[in-house]
Amino acid sequence: MAETIHVRGEGGQIIEMGLPLPEPIADRLTKGLLRQVNADGSPHSGAAVEWTDPAGQERGSALTEGRTPRPDKTARKAEWVGWAVGVHGLDPEKADGMTKGDLMELPEHPAPATAGGQGRPGRPSEDADKSEWISYAVSQGLVSAEDAANYTKDDLIEMTE
């Protein structure tokens, strides 16, 4: 039996995909435009699946301790987009619209959010964008960036109180 994974598409549908993934799907998964999920649609909590594209090149996430490592300078733009989404909590479409050079200029770790004067240092104000709340929750070690993206802004605010 062929190995499969479940992916949440851009429209929210859950799709079972056989491995190896087609290159366009692998790129969208790497960029964070698609998310690997469990069969029931819940966030995938297991190890990231390594897959091979039809040309035989290995693809996949090299997650270490729940953190996405910074790609090598020679990495494809899709890997830099995935890193910016995973580490900095950028919107996948916004990150994909940036140049590879702009993505490479992002710091290794996200800068702490500006202090909102609400308990913990660096905690964003409640009217801050969801991306700031994702970065803050990740920086506090409460959740991975991939999982944080699946929460609502209100959920993120509540979990960081």
pLDDT, one tens digit per residue, over 58-81 is 444 444 455 678 899 999 998 898
pLDDT in tens, 70-124: 899 999 998 898 888 888 878 888 888 888 988 888 888 776 544 444 445 678 8
Q: How far apart (Å, rounded) are the C-alpha atoms in residues 56 and 62? A: 17
94 and 106 Cβ atoms separated by less than 8 Å: no
CA-nearest of 10, 4, 55, 6 to 31 is 10
In terms of DSSP H, where are the helices of 14-119?
23-31, 77-88, 92-97, 100-105
Q: How far apart (Å, rounded) are the C-alpha atoms in residues 119 and 147? A: 23
CA-nearest of 27, 52, 66 to 146 is 66
* Stated pTM of the model: 0.50
In which band, very low, low, confident or very high, does the pLDDT at 47 lie, cut at 50, 70 and 90?
A: low
In which band, very low, low, confident or very high, does the pLDDT at 31 lie, cut at 50, 70 and 90?
A: confident
Angle at which helix 130-139 crosses helix 77-88, to 10 degrees, equals 80
Mean pLDDT to the nearest integer, 140-145: 76
